[in-house]
Chains A and B, each alone.
Chain A
Amino acid sequence: MMTAESTIAAPAVVQSGTHGMPRHHVYIFGGLCALVLAAPFFLYPIFVMKILCFALFASAFNLLLGYGGLLSFGHAAYFGMASYVSAHAAKVWGLTPELAILSGTAIAALLGLAIGALAIRRQGIYFAMVTLAFAQMVYFFSVQAPFTGGEDGIQAVPRGNLFGLFSLADPLTLYFVVAAIFLFGVLLIYRIIHSPFGQVLKAIRENEARAISLGYKVNRYKLGVFVLSATLAGLAGATKAIVFQLASLTDVYWTMSGEVVLMTLLGGMGTVFGPMVGAGIIVTMQNYLATAGDWVTIIQGAIFVVAVLLFREGVVGVLSKWLRKPL
């Protein structure tokens, strides 16, 4: 999709991480773990869990945009559909939470495979429009399908017992489960980015024609990263359904797709930690402006405009340039 003058890209210093994690990344991940473990004792756990779910969602999205160079405008489809299936599995099928989350994630993977296989046939802005249109199709399906509960959504989803043993009704237990899922997700994304697969992806992003000439099956890589991104977005959505005990149309609507783009853009696309920072900022803002109604939309729109015009590298991108280290 990107031509030679690829501008949606990571900071210029791209470091091959084949020899293990660079030291400053180890420190940052260590700090992140400490922060995540300490947070519920200082902040309202549900609020932190919301940030963790969206941070994972944005990181999954960034895998596709920042490293694959593919702008999907329909990631709400995987997030929302996984959330529905997870909620349905826990409530109607009576599955334990880990199985409910897994079934939601699996559906997101299948949906990603189906939509991705079609979408990668077009490039650039067409790719964005195709993914948006398919996500809208998933939305219309969710409005009509009986199991989603239409306008009401699926409410009062039981949190159940993890592995049938540990009750997730206790907020702290639930919190540490969500924190574990989050850390697993972001470390997996980190591993993917720095694997040989991730390196080829970056090559395709920078110069697709050259990658083809080097003999890479570009479309397989694109589809691969699309499915991975959709699956991890699904993991975030499925977890969110258990945390909030709710799956609703909001999660599958195009505004959600826009929000995850905004989080990634604001935090810094193509950076490892940017999407998490962006998610933190946006969720916190929504939390404080919860009563302000449509002002949230207006402010989000304004952030979009300012970020695109003046702040394309995002918070972490700027920081990374300043420290001269890839973050």
Chain B
Amino acid sequence: MFELLGIPPQALFGQLLLGLINGSFYAVLSLGLAVIFGMLNIINFAHGAQYMLGAFVAWMLLNYLGIGYWWALIIAPVLVGIIGIVMERLFIRRLYHLDHLYGLLLTFGLALIITGVFKQNYGVSGLPYQPPPLLAGGRNLGFMYLPYSRGWVILASAVVCFGTWFLIEKTRLGAYLRAATENPTLVGAFGINVPLLITLTYGFGVALAGFAGVLAAPIYSVNPVMGENLIIIVFAVVVIGGMGSILGSIVTGFGLGLIEGLTRVFYPEGSAVVIFVIMAIVLLVKPAGLFGRTA
């Protein structure tokens, strides 16, 4: 086998695959944040907790009701989305007339409550989630071994990202949504129920987080703190990409995952901080973010 800069290709492509998987999660989560931010103008700090909720709902469906992974992929995001809708109706709605920072503080508090409740009941050691039989095994691609479960995560995230982009950029509903982002009063005057649209948008963004959680369940363990550190990295991803564009979030998410994977090959000590370093560089060079529209 050939070697690249002294790194065996199996290791290189293995890390790139892991990077691409992390990138999938960055993409789906930052996409959800961007969708919510576009409409509600708040940063949803509870996004990590909602991602964790998705994984836990999948675990509960399997262990308490015997409902498997494939159904969980549909049911869990819907349930988590409904929880999000309830949160929006009960709490977040009351803050729209205030400074956006209050939304951040409120969702931070909600995240603490959700995470705390699950820590109290399930501990932090993590629960295993058996991958479905269809995803067991893998295929040798010659230059690397591709476990199906990992390939599936990348495929599913790519499809969901594309679907979201299509929904927002190419459908009538998406057009309403974009219009309401620009000028809610005017869109309301045309007879569109903007508050409902806002609620549904939040629910959708949260459902995306829940979906990412279900995808994460078989490859990482199901753990109350699984979203805590991830969400901070996703914040950095969002700062790097800027939240102005849907496609931008997706590209930035996958791209940074790959860069992180490469760093793990060539300079493992730096892999935990590489995204933050990139964020610093982007702030110096293009403060609005790579795809950001406004400064």
A residues engaging B (CB < 8 A)? 2, 5-8, 71, 73, 118-119, 121-122, 124-126, 128-130, 132-134, 136-137, 140-141, 143-144, 254, 258, 261, 265, 293-298, 300-305, 307-309, 312
Contacts and interface: CB of A to CB of B under 8 A. Distances in A.
Interface of B: 42-43, 91, 94-95, 98-102, 104-106, 108-117, 119-120, 228-229, 232-233, 235-236, 238-239, 269, 272-273, 276-277, 279-280, 283-284, 287
Contact of A302 (B99, B113, B228): B113
A298 B267 CA distance: 39
B115 A297 contact: yes
Contacts of B114: 301
A80 B277 CA distance: 20
A122 B105 contact: no
Nearest to A5: B99
A307 B94 CA distance: 13
16 contacts: A5-B99, A7-B102, A73-B104, A122-B239, A125-B42, A130-B279, A133-B239, A134-B276, A261-B105, A295-B116, A297-B112, A298-B120, A305-B106, A308-B102, A309-B106, A312-B102
Contacts of B100: 124-125
Given A258-B112, A295-B120, A297-B115, A304 B102 contact: no
Main secondary structure of the interface of A (DSSP, over half): helix
A303 B105 CA distance: 11
Contacts of B113: 297-298, 301-302, 305
Given A7-B98, A128-B104, A140-B273, 20 more contacts: A8-B99, A8-B101, A121-B287, A125-B43, A125-B100, A125-B101, A130-B239, A130-B279, A133-B276, A133-B279, A136-B233, A261-B105, A294-B119, A294-B120, A297-B113, A298-B120, A301-B110, A301-B115, A304-B112, A305-B109
A254 B98 CA distance: 25
Top 3 A-B residue pairs of the complex, sorted by shortest distance between their CB atoms: A304-B109, A301-B112, A297-B116
A128 B43 contact: yes
A125 B42 CA distance: 8
Contacts of A258: 108, 112
Contacts of B42: 125
Given A7-B98, A124-B100, A301 B116 contact: yes
Given A122-B287, A294-B116, A132 B273 contact: no
Contacts of B269: 144
Contact of B109 (A134, A295, A301): A301
B238 A129 contact: yes
A304 B116 CA distance: 13
Contacts of B280: 118, 134
Among B91, B236, B277, chain A packs the most CB atoms within 10 A around the CB of B236
Given A7-B98, A305-B91, A298 B273 contact: no
